[in-house]
Amino acid sequence: MKTIIVAATLSCLLIGCDLGESFDRQAVTIEFALLSTSGMKRTAFTVPDTIIVRFRITNNSGKPLSYHYTGTPIILKILKAGSVVASSVDGMEFAQVIRGNVLQSGQSLGVDWRIPGMLPSGATDALQAGSYEAIALAGGVFDSFQVSHPGPIPFTMYPGGV
């Protein structure tokens, strides 16, 4: 009997006491957008405009959501013709340690990445004129649901007047 109690306690701790409670996946929203510095959604910019790439996961489920990740839970990338030209983690190093956290109801997990303001040193000062795509990858793993990655956002950089 003691073995059963110990085993049940350990398994409850290991799986976070998830007893199969129903979970409303629609109560977790994902925002992925390109914004101007005034906060307006846009897909057309002029060189050297600053672009804010925003990705947010918001928990409106009424329940805390635990998640685990290594490195950083969200990575944003800019692609040109399918090749990565910039990433929100360029030039950064991360220990490969599994970390955990909880996203409480009403809270958001996200990042606002400013381009060109946060491009790593040595990179060009701004994206050049042309067609690009922004993509978001959520590297965190939620215990109750899987984050569906939003599709890419195509955008254009037009030549600017100097």
The CATH label, of 3.40.50.720, 1.10.357.10, 2.30.130.30, 2.60.40.2360, for the domain at 26-158 is: 2.60.40.2360
Is the CB of residue 30 less than 8 Å from the CB of residue 148? yes
CA distance 23 to 75: 26
Question: Strands, DSSP E only, in 43-123?
Answer: 44-46, 51-59, 65-69, 74-80, 83-87, 99-103, 108-115
Q: Does the pLDDT at position 54 exceed 90? A: yes
Could you state, in order of their start, the residue ranges of all structural domains in the chain?
Answer: 26-158
Q: Does the pLDDT at position 33 exceed 50? A: yes
Percent of the chain at pLDDT > 90 equals: 33
pLDDT at 35: 96
pLDDT at 152: 95
Q: Does the pLDDT at position 162 exceed 70? A: no
pTM, 2 dp: 0.75
Q: Does the pLDDT at position 131 exceed 90? A: yes
pLDDT at 4: 46
Percent of the chain at pLDDT > 70 equals: 70
Q: Does the pLDDT at position 80 exceed 60? A: yes
Q: Name the more confident of 32 and 13.
A: 32
3-state secondary structure at position 8: helix
CA distance 77 to 118: 12
